[in-house]
Amino acid sequence: MEQQFNILKKNGLSITEGRKKILELFLDAEGALAHADIEKHTDAAFDRVTVYRTLQTFVEKGIIHQIPTTDNAILYALCKDRCEEGHHHDEHVHFICDNCNKTICLDDVTVPDVKLPKGFQPLQSAMVVKGICDDCR
Amino acid sequence: MEQQFNILKKNGLSITEGRKKILELFLDAEGALAHADIEKHTDAAFDRVTVYRTLQTFVEKGIIHQIPTTDNAILYALCKDRCEEGHHHDEHVHFICDNCNKTICLDDVTVPDVKLPKGFQPLQSAMVVKGICDDCR
DNA sequence: ATAAAACTTGCAACAATAGTGCAAATTCTA
DNA sequence: TAGAATTTGCACTATTGTTGCAAGTTTTAT
Ligand SMILES: [Mn+2]
Ligand SMILES: [Mn+2]
Ligand SMILES: [Zn+2]
Ligand SMILES: [Zn+2]
C-alpha cells in the first residue's frame, strides 16, 4: 500500500487523486516546492484552486510545513518530525542554493536558540541559510 | 539638512519627493514595512509602480533589507549596519509579534552560526523569531 | 452492493500583488 | 538655464490568492 495512502488516512483525510498526486510529489522531491512547481509537475491536471486548498489542508494537518522566503513564493516541504494538526515542530534550518535554486530541509540541523532582549517571548523560530549546496560545488 | 537627503546623496541617487518620503517613513517606523504599509502611509501620493521601484532601488543600494515571511508579503527595514551596494550585512534576528503583528529588527542579536552538513557553503543567513513582543505582554 | 451523507473539486468571478514599455515630468550637470 | 540623464505615472499585462456554489467523488451506514 502506498505511503501517500497511509499519510492521508492517518490524518483523517479523504483519499483523492489530487491529494495522492501532490503528496507523491513531495515524497519524491529533493527539496521544497512552491505552488507553481506543483502546477508544473502535475501538468495542470488539477485546478489551481484545488492545489491551494490541498496545500492549506496539508499545512493544517502537519503534513507539510512552510518555509519563509523573500520572493513572494511560499515554499512547502514535507514534515519529517512529529508534526501534528495545528502544531508544527519543524525547527530545522533551511538551505537555499544560490546556484541550483533548490531549497533543502536540513533536518538534522536544529535552529539554535538566541538570547532575546528583555520582554521578548519567543514561540517559533525559523532560519534560512543561503549559499552553495553540496551538489553545486 | 535632513537625514533622507544625506542617505540618498551618499548612495548616488537623485533626490526626489517619493524617495525622500519613503525613506522618511522607514526612519520614523518602529518596525518593518511592507509595500502595502507604504502605500497606506503615503496616501497613494505616489504610483504603486514607483513604490515598487523605489524599494527595489533601496535594496540594491543597501539602504533597506528584506525580511523573509511565510505569507507572501516581503517586509523591508532600514539597514543599520554597514550595508553597501550589492552587499548586505544585516545578520541580525528579526522578531515578528503574533499579537500586534509588528516586525522588529533586533539589531543587537546576531544570527548565530550553525554547523552545516559537509559540502554546504553558507553565504547569508536569516533568522525570524515569532512570539510576543515586549510592548504586548 | 447501495443510498444517503459528507466531503472535495472545478468553475467563474473577483481581488490583490507584481512587472513592463514608453512618453511626460523631474532632477542633475555643466 | 539648456541639454542630458534619470525618474515618474499611466496603461496594460501577468501572477498569485480567495470565495461561493453546483457537480462530482468518497465515505459511511444500511
Ligand atoms: Mn523543512
Ligand atoms: Mn532587520
Ligand atoms: Zn545547488
Ligand atoms: Zn507586539
The DSSP secondary structure of B14-62, one letter per residue, reads ---HHHHHHHHHHHH-SS-EEHHHHHHHTTT-S-HHHHHHHHHHHHHHT
User: In terms of CA atoms, which chain B residue is nearest residue A76?
Assistant: B70
In a domain, residue B136? The reply is: no
> Residue B76's beta-bridge partner residues?
B33, B66
The proportion of chain A whose per-residue pLDDT surpasses 70, expressed as a percent, equals 97
From A82-86, A127-131, B35-39, the region with the lowest mean pLDDT: A82-86
Measuring CA to CA, which residue among A18, A81, A114, A13 is closest to residue B93? A114
Q: What is the rounded average pLDDT for all residues in chain A?
A: 92
The predicted structure's pLDDT at residue A1: 60
- The mean pLDDT of B102-131, rounded to a whole number, is 94
**CATH, residue B55:** 1.10.10.10
Cβ-proximal residues to B85 (8 Å cutoff; 6+ apart), any chain: B11, B60, B61, B62
Measuring CA to CA, which residue among A41, A62, A87 is closest to residue A77? A62
B62 C-alpha vs ligand 2 centroid, how far in Å?
12
List the domain range (segments joined by +) for residue A42.
Answer: 2-131
CB-nearest to B72 from A74, A123, A134 is A74
Name the residue closest to C9, CA to C1'. A50
User: Strand A121-132 vs strand B121-132: parallel, antiparallel, or unpaired?
Assistant: antiparallel
In a domain, residue B137? The reply is: no
Residue A130 beta carbon within 7 A of nucleic strand D: no
In a domain, residue B100? The reply is: yes
Q: Which of A71-80, A91-100, B17-26 has the highest mean pLDDT?
A: B17-26
Q: How many domains does chain A have?
A: 1
For the whole prediction, is pTM greater than 0.85? yes
How far is Cα B110 from Cα A58, in angstroms, rounded to an integer?
Answer: 33
In a domain, residue B88? The reply is: yes
In a domain, residue B26? The reply is: yes
- The mean pLDDT of B23-49, rounded to a whole number, is 94
Could you tell me where the beta strands, DSSP code E, fall in A18-115?
33-34, 64-67, 75-78, 92-97, 103-110
Per-residue pLDDT reduced to its tens digit, B51-61: 999 999 999 99
How far is Cα A69 from Cα B88, in angstroms, rounded to an integer?
Answer: 16
* Direct distance between the N- and C-terminal alpha carbons of chain A, in angstroms, rounded to an integer: 38
Which of A56, A115, A121, A123 to probe by mutation at the B interface, max B CB count within 10 Å? A121
Q: Which residues of A touch B71 (CB under 8 A)?
A: 74
Please state at what angle helix B48-61 crosses helix B17-28, rounded to 10 degrees.
70
pLDDT at B81 over 70: no
Per-residue pLDDT reduced to its tens digit, A12-22: 999 999 999 99
